[in-house]
């Protein structure tokens, strides 16, 4: 047992039994140095609720060592979680400061691996939070299937799957729902289950769990989805084939996309607020429209309520909403900040607005063009209330006197109200925009001619039922041309039109570039998923081949043992027959020689090479021409025959023919024995001579 624990790598202290009490006493002494003052009174050592002020550089250096070794950045985790676990490792080695622990890690690479395992949280079980799984089975999954076309292959991603219990639980629930709704031919499920811990992924792929899981799984599910063994349960192959396990870092690696369901339960509680705010838009991007998001009991979508609406808020089950926002696309192409950037800035501080724009030059350019050159516009809902304003609208709208009112009809200036109300009614009943030209709006100093475009919005879904109203001033050069103004104004108008055309072309190129980048990103993510799936399948095939090879080796060993037993039995038989000093000849059903004793070769001319030859091909000194006929008769009647036959050299033999019976009582040939009775015949002859005299 101690050797197994040491080999498993889960032992903190290795020492002779006599030294262990001293190590335990030193660990307790070290661990209680940061204990609250009243801990000694209660006799219970408690960790402080908040970590003390720690030097930033040693802590970040420890994160750097972990990142160099494991590629994972722990600086985005909550400090309290990290401190408790780092403090435990320091107590084991009786180290007082982070700087000393950093130096210890640099000298002992194995300690980096042990700290990495210490920081990973792998708490999980089958059907954890039973009410959530009941909600999935009763309504969430059936409603999700109803929103998908027939024969649709659902894609699910379980983030932080640990040893696989949650992924397998989802696969079992899906199988039960499909069977209950009789949808076996219409829908299939592919689950991508990922985790940072390679050891946990290996355990999940094996699908072998201790018998203690019977406390979490009903007997019906155990009987249906598991095969029972002496000391463990193994997940059935059909459920195992539903899940692809892979090592994946949700902070650094590209996400899975086009998902119908995403489960990230009890993982984000260990991340800081900055990382949580980045992951939720990422999950929104990964899910298809109408997809389902599962969070842990202590997790919420926070300020991203426009991305997810609760299906069951108490159980943290959410529905993805279609939502267009300037901030969301930016997060899809921006990686999380590396450790080098965190070192330069204040650890775990939120990024600034300027920093966000710097990461996406194209978004910043689009934003500038819209602010400077885009026409003034407003978006109103079906009640006429303004929900969005773009550009400078002061020429066309002004606040109404009295109580604050954001209704469009109350704010529109004189000269526009009547024609716009009629145009909005017409626009609500058609898909094409309604154009109004040459409307005169009265400004503070003079009148202004304006063209107005009104269009009802059908998409995206967030703007469905609303209207967009765009205002464009009629250029002074155009009005001058209508009144016969100078050629210089016409030139200016043409030049302005040229600039507007160039801006429009630039916008179209920027839009095309953005679409190409997004398409390339999706293709790369799809390729990454395929490679991960292929790697998982190869790993599974390798495990199956190894298992099959072990089975073949076991079968080969059993066959070799049987061959050895058979060879020994043949040797025993040969020695037994030869020791009887009786001539015996064994024939098969076709009267071919099967076996013989050495004494038989002195009567019938037979040798080793004659095995398999017909009896009729052999020569003998016996004066027994009907031998073959007698053998056939014995095989036909199953009665033995016995005759006294002389030889050409004046010897006599008693020839006895019997059927050859196998252990299963099947006749499989004949046995011929030859007993020398020459002496008996000589005595009989002498006796007859004496009697005749």
Domain that holds residue 440: 361-474
CA distances from 663 to 527, 660, 667, 674 (A): 64, 10, 10, 24
Give a yes or no: residue 552 inside a domain: no
How far is Cα 582 from Cα 674, in angstroms, rounded to an integer? 7
For 443-510, the DSSP string reads -SSSEEEEEEEEEE---SGGGTT-EEEEEEEPPHHHHHHHTT--HHHHHHHHHHHHHHHHHHHHHHHH
Residue 421 belongs to a domain with what CATH number?
3.30.450.20
Same domain, 175 and 280: yes
Is the predicted pLDDT of residue 635 greater than 60, yes or no?
A: yes
Give a yes or no: residue 666 inside a domain: yes
Helix (H, G, I), strand (E, B) or coil at 31: helix
What is the edge-to-edge ordering of all strands in the sheet holding 467-473?
Answer: 386-390, 376-380, 467-473, 447-456, 434-442
Residue that terminates a domain, selected from 474, 496, 519: 474
- The answer to whether the CB of 393 falls within 8 A of the CB of 387 is no
Same domain, 311 and 414: no
Least confident window among 217-231, 454-468, 472-486, 617-631:
472-486
Same domain, 644 and 671: yes
Domains in the chain: how many in total? 4
Residue of higher predicted confidence among 564 and 368: 564
Q: Return the bridge partners of 263, or none.
A: 158, 294
How far is Cα 405 from Cα 398, in angstroms, rounded to an integer? 10
Give a yes or no: residue 564 inside a domain: no
Q: Residue 21's pLDDT is what?
A: 66
pLDDT in tens, 514-573: 888 888 888 888 788 888 878 888 888 888 888 888 889 989 999 999 998 888 888 888
Same domain, 150 and 282: yes
Q: Residue 508's pLDDT is what?
A: 82
Q: Residue 133's pLDDT is what?
A: 95
Residues of the chain with pLDDT > 90: what percent? 28
Helix (H, G, I), strand (E, B) or coil at 438: strand
Confidence category of residue 10, pLDDT binned at 50, 70, 90: low
Q: Residue 355's pLDDT is what?
A: 41
Residue that terminates a domain, selected from 454, 474, 494: 474
Is the predicted pLDDT of residue 587 greater than 60, yes or no?
A: yes
Among 495, 529, 78, 444, smallest CA distance to 275 is for 78
Same domain, 373 and 321: no
Same domain, 114 and 139: no
Same domain, 366 and 451: yes
Is the predicted pLDDT of residue 492 greater than 80, yes or no?
A: no
pLDDT (mean) for 594-607: 89
CA distances from 633 to 520, 589, 620, 624 (A): 88, 12, 20, 15
Give a yes or no: residue 567 inside a domain: no
Same domain, 70 and 90: yes
**Tokens in use for 24?**
């335990």
Q: Residue 442's pLDDT is what?
A: 72
How far is Cα 642 from Cα 655, in angstroms, rounded to an integer? 6
Same domain, 304 and 395: no
Q: Residue 270's pLDDT is what?
A: 86
Is the predicted pLDDT of residue 259 greater than 70, yes or no?
A: yes
Same domain, 301 and 223: yes
Q: Residue 253's pLDDT is what?
A: 83
Is the predicted pLDDT of residue 628 greater than 60, yes or no?
A: yes
Give a yes or no: residue 612 inside a domain: yes
Give a yes or no: residue 522 inside a domain: no
Mean pLDDT computed over every residue of the chain = 80
Least confident window among 108-112, 125-129, 349-353:
349-353
- The answer to whether the CB of 318 falls within 8 A of the CB of 292 is yes
Least confident window among 121-125, 340-344, 435-439:
340-344
Is the predicted pLDDT of residue 456 greater than 80, yes or no?
A: yes
Give a yes or no: residue 125 inside a domain: no
Is the predicted pLDDT of residue 208 greater than 60, yes or no?
A: yes
CA distances from 64 to 75, 340, 475 (A): 9, 9, 61
Q: Residue 342's pLDDT is what?
A: 38
Same domain, 298 and 182: yes
Give a yes or no: residue 96 inside a domain: yes
Confidence category of residue 368, pLDDT binned at 50, 70, 90: low
pLDDT in tens, 677-692: 988 988 988 888 888 8
pLDDT in tens, 402-424: 666 788 888 888 778 888 888 88
pLDDT in tens, 169-192: 999 999 999 988 887 567 889 999
Residue that terminates a domain, selected from 474, 505, 523: 474
Least confident window among 35-44, 77-86, 113-122, 500-509:
35-44
Same domain, 242 and 265: yes
**Tokens in use for 209?**
């769990």
Q: Enter the pTM of the model.
A: 0.48
């Amino acid at each position: 047992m101690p050797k197994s624990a040491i080999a498993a790598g889960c032992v903190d202290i290795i020492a002779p039994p006599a030294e262990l009490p001293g190590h335990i006493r030193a660990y307790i002494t070290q661990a209680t140095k940061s204990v609250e003052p009243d801990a000694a009174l209660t006799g219970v050592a408690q960790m402080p609720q908040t970590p003390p002020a720690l030097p930033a550089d040693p802590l970040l250096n420890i994160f750097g060592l972990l990142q160099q070794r494991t590629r994972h950045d722990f600086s985005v985790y909550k400090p309290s979680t990290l401190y408790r676990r780092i403090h435990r490792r320091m107590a084991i080695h009786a180290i007082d400061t982070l700087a000393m622990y950093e130096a210890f890690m640099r000298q002992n690479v194995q300690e980096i691996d042990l700290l990495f395992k210490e920081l990973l949280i792998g708490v999980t079980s089958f059907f954890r939070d039973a009410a959530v799984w009941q909600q999935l089975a009763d309504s969430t999954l059936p409603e999700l299937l109803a929103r998908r076309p027939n024969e649709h292959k659902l894609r699910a991603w379980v983030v932080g799957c640990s040893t696989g219990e949650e992924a397998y639980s989802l696969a079992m629930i899906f199988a039960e729902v499909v069977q209950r709704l009789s949808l076996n031919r219409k829908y299939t499920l592919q689950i991508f289950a990922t985790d940072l811990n390679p050891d946990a992924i290996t355990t999940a792929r094996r699908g072998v769990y201790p018998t203690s899981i019977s406390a979490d799984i009903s007997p019906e599910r155990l009987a249906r989805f598991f095969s029972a063994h002496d000391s463990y349960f193994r997940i059935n192959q059909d459920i195992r084939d539903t899940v692809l396990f892979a090592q994946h870092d949700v902070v650094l690696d590209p996400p899975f996309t086009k998902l119908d369901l995403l489960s990230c339960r009890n993982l984000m509680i260990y991340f800081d607020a900055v990382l949580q705010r980045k992951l939720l838009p990422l999950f929104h991007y990964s899910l298809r429209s109408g997809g389902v998001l599962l969070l842990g009991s202590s997790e919420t979508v926070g300020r991203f309520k426009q991305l997810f609406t609760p299906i069951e808020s108490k159980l943290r089950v959410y529905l993805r909403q279609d939502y267009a926002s300037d901030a969301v696309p930016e997060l899809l192409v921006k990686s999380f900040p590396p450790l080098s950037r965190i070192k330069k800035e204040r650890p775990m501080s939120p990024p600034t607005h300027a920093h966000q724009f710097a990461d996406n030059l194209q978004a910043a350019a689009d934003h500038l063009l819209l602010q400077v050159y885009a026409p003034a516009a407003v978006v109103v809902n079906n009640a006429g209330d303004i929900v969005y304003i773009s550009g400078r609208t002061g020429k066309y709208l002004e606040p109404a006197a009295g109580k604050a009112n954001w209704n469009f009809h109350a704010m529109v200036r004189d000269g526009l109200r009547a024609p716009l109300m009629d145009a909005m009614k017409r626009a609500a009943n058609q898909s094409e925009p309604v154009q109004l030209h040459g409307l005169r709006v009265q400004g503070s100093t003079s009148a202004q001619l304006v063209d107005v475009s009104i269009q009802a919005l059908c998409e995206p879904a967030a703007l469905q039922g609303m209207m967009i109203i765009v205002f464009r001033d009629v250029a002074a050069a155009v009005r001058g041309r209508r009144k016969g103004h100078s050629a210089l104004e016409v030139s200016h108008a043409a030049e302005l039109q040229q600039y507007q055309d160039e801006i429009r072309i630039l916008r179209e190129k920027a839009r095309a570039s953005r679409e190409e980048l997004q398409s390339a990103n999706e293709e790369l993510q799809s390729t990454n998923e395929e490679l991960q799936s292929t790697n998982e399948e190869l790993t599974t095939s390798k495990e199956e081949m190894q298992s099959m090879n072990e089975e073949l080796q076991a079968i080969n060993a059993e066959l070799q043992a049987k061959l050895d037993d058979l060879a020994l039995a043949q040797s025993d038989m040969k020695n037994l027959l030869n020791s009887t000093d009786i001539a015996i000849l064994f024939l098969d059903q076709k009267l071919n020689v099967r076996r013989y004793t050495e004494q038989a070769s002195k009567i019938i001319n037979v040798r080793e090479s004659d095995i398999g030859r017909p009896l009729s091909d052999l020569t003998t000194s016996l004066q027994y021409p009907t031998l073959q006929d007698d053998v056939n008769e014995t095989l036909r009647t199953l009665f033995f025959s016995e005759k006294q036959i002389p030889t050409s050299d004046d010897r006599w033999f008693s020839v006895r023919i019997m059927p050859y019976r196998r252990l299963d009582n099947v006749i499989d040939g004949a046995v011929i024995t030859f007993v020398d009775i020459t002496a008996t015949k000589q005595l009989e002859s002498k006796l007859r001579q004496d009697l005749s005299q």
